[in-house]
Amino acid sequence: MNAVFRSGTMNDAMACGTICYEAFKAIAQQHNFPPDIPSAEFAIGLLSRVLSRTDVYSVVAEIDHRVIGSNFLWEGDTIASIGPITVIPDAQNSSVGRQLMERVLERARTRQHVGVRLVQSAYHNRSLSLYTKLGFHAREPLTVLQGPPLKLQQPGCHVRPATNADLDACNALCLSIHGHDRQGEELDRRLLARADRASPRHRPRLAHPRADPDPRQLAVVGHPRPLPRHARR
């Protein structure tokens, strides 16, 4: 399949958003999971915001002037982030996804990012195989928790809504544990400014950086007991 690749523009939001919704829905339904993205309208709005950002590099794939996929590189941090990457279902398994990945990885090399990361659904073995071939290493499993909070109290640990005043401390904590900052990521002032209005019910299954926070998400900060010695390194 001979696809043409170019930079994305705001005019691509509807096509890319629709494909994003259909692609995530198709793979989720194949494995009997609920869709990551609730609707095509939600995906179009999401990618509209992604395409408007100056710190996100976008790649769009076309065949005969028809958009068939897209990918994004988030360049605002020391460790760049990839996603969401999606290809229209009838064009999958034809190397388009690989080529979309290769283009953003080349961009990351050109920009001299020291590393690149992404998150994917554990049930999607085909994409996991692709990422492994491209040089990615699985680092850790992540768990999605959904539903109303249990409101349980943990002795010695206080959890509260995060505020703008917590940004520097959260970033310093990430730097001390992981060795890099996340200052440009989605834990930014827009998410924290809306935290007070956020409902504890949310839909956090989208396994990639978000362009704009879902108002149903809630940012929280914990004050636990001192970290174990091995966690401080």
Q: What is the pLDDT of residues 62-89, one digit of tens each?
A: 999 999 999 999 998 888 999 999 999 8
Mean pLDDT, range 124-144, rounded to an integer: 88
Cβ(28)–Cβ(144) under 8 Å? no
Cβ(64)–Cβ(100) under 8 Å? no
pLDDT-derived band at 213 (thresholds 50, 70, 90) equals very low
pLDDT score recorded for residue 231? 39
The one-letter amino acid at 15:
A
Mean pLDDT, range 158-166, rounded to an integer: 83
Cβ(101)–Cβ(85) under 8 Å? yes
pLDDT score recorded for residue 229? 43
Q: pTM for the full model? A: 0.75
Q: Which of 109-118, 147-156, 192-201 has the highest mean pLDDT?
A: 109-118
CA dist., res. 40 & res. 12, Å (int): 14
Peptide bond into 84 cis (omega under 30): yes
**Mutual angle of helices 13-30 and 40-51, in 10-degree steps:** 130
Instruction: Look over the chain and give the mean of its residue pLDDT values, rounded to a whole number.
Output: 80
pLDDT reading at 192 higher than 90: no
CA dist., res. 174 & res. 191, Å (int): 18
pLDDT-derived band at 141 (thresholds 50, 70, 90) equals confident
- The tokens describing 123, both together, are 């049930």
Cβ(17)–Cβ(40) under 8 Å? yes
Residue 102 sits at the vertex; the CA angle it makes with 99 and 104, to the nearest 5 degrees, is 115
Q: Which domains does the chain have, with CATH numbers?
A: 4-133 (3.40.630.30), 158-231 (no CATH)
**Which has more pLDDT, 224 or 94?**
94
Mean pLDDT, range 162-166, rounded to an integer: 83
pLDDT reading at 52 higher than 50: yes
Cβ(51)–Cβ(7) under 8 Å? no
pLDDT-derived band at 10 (thresholds 50, 70, 90) equals very high
